[in-house]
Amino acid sequence: MEINTILYIIAGVAGITLVAGVVISLTSERVMVEERLGRYVEDEKIIARGAQAAPVTDWLNRRVERSDWGTNVSKELARADIKLKPGEYIGVMVIVAVLLGAVSWYIGGKFIIIGVLGAVIGLFIPRIYVRREQKRRLIRFNEQLGDMLNLMVNGLRAGYSTMQAMEAVSKELPSPISDEFRRVVQEIALGLPMEKALDNLLRRIPSEDLDLIITAINVQREVGGNLAEILETISFTIRERVRIKGEIRVLTAQVMISGKILSFMPVAVILIIWVLNRDYMMEFFKPDAGICGYLALGVGATMTMIGYFAMNKIADIEV
């Protein structure tokens, strides 16, 4: 009977996740496009349709976006290229926390502390995913900057304007750099100044190399000069930085993986012992032990986190 109940819970979680994914896929993209058009086109009908598309999420988005935290969430989602609004992202965090907390509470012998621990972990899972996507996307973008500069330099020497050169980048190069420059070209076509469109690009892609390129373009637009020669000089510097960063990433990969494995091992051991010999693990929570059991677990978790962050700091080398 317990196995059937667990299967029912898993099926219910899968069903809820599937429904949530379908709803978000059908509504988020359309509402986002209408909102973006509403920023540049003063069409009350478009704005009204965007407001009526999802009343619950729209109400939550308005409340969240008014706060500084909501603005930071919007930046994080944009950098990861995740098509979610801040309110929808919060909804995903709550859903994951509730589902993981419920599953942990049931599997963990219906102890409240296990359910709370599962809920707390569920709150951090979406954030970990967003950070991972940001890092992967930034690495791919930086690796494509050299090809982007070569294409822009060749286009400028062939007589293209800066706008036409960026449009060529959006058509010729693969994602994610083509997607980002396509957004820049579309924003400029809608009437946004080039400086503002490039600032939006830098907000989505916080790359030091990209900041150098945008600064050179803005300076050239203000004081003049041969932009092709400036970008060609920058291209050599960026290529060398990308090469050195790649070598450092290879050399420090062992330290990063070791830190993750060593940090996960205590958690895995606790879960295995909890499943195989629950009475042994319950010694930490017995009334006779008082606060000593909780203190021991807290100290162990704190030391594990300190070790993980220390190993990451050692492997984080600035170039």
285 within a domain of the structure (yes/no): yes
Q: Are residues 235 and 286 in the same domain?
A: no
177 within a domain of the structure (yes/no): yes
The tokens describing 138, both together, are: 């930034």
Domains in the chain, number = 2
Cα distances (Å, whole numbers) of residue 265 to 43, 119, 260, 271, 284:
56, 20, 9, 10, 19
* Interatomic CA distance for residues 241 and 6, integer angstroms: 51
In the chain, the amino acid numbered 184 is: V
Q: Are residues 150 and 224 in the same domain?
A: yes
Predicted pLDDT of residue 45: 37
Cα distances (Å, whole numbers) of residue 76 to 20, 45, 64, 244, 260:
21, 30, 14, 27, 23
Nearest residue to 282 via CA among 119, 121, 109: 109
User: pLDDT tens digits, residue range 118-146?
Assistant: 888 888 888 889 998 988 888 888 888 88
Q: Please, what is the average pLDDT of the chain?
A: 78
Q: Are residues 198 and 173 in the same domain?
A: yes
Predicted pLDDT of residue 52: 45
Contacts of residue 180, Cβ cutoff 8 Å, sequence gap at least 6? 141, 201, 204, 205
Q: Are residues 272 and 222 in the same domain?
A: no
- Which residue, of 241, 275, 296, is where some domain finishes? 241
Cis peptide upstream of residue 266 (ω within 30 degrees of 0)? no
- Percent of the chain beyond pLDDT 90? 3
In the chain, the amino acid numbered 173 is: L
Mean local confidence (pLDDT), 106-114:
75
Q: Are residues 284 and 311 in the same domain?
A: yes
84 within a domain of the structure (yes/no): no
108 within a domain of the structure (yes/no): no
pLDDT at 203 over 60: yes
Q: Are residues 189 and 147 in the same domain?
A: yes
Beta strands in 178-222, from DSSP E residues, in sequence order: none
Mean local confidence (pLDDT), 24-42:
48
Q: Are residues 162 and 217 in the same domain?
A: yes
CATH code of the domain covering residue 186 = 1.20.81
* Interatomic CA distance for residues 208 and 127, integer angstroms: 23
Q: Which residue has the tokens 């986002």?
A: 32
Q: Are residues 228 and 289 in the same domain?
A: no
- Which residue, of 194, 218, 241, is where some domain finishes? 241
Predicted pLDDT of residue 266: 87
pLDDT tier, 53 (very low <50, low <70, confident <90, very high otherwise): very low
Q: Are residues 179 and 160 in the same domain?
A: yes
Instruction: Show the domain range for 260.
Output: 252-319
- Which residue, of 241, 261, 291, is where some domain finishes? 241
Predicted pLDDT of residue 41: 39
Predicted pLDDT of residue 75: 81
DSSP structural state of residue 285 = G
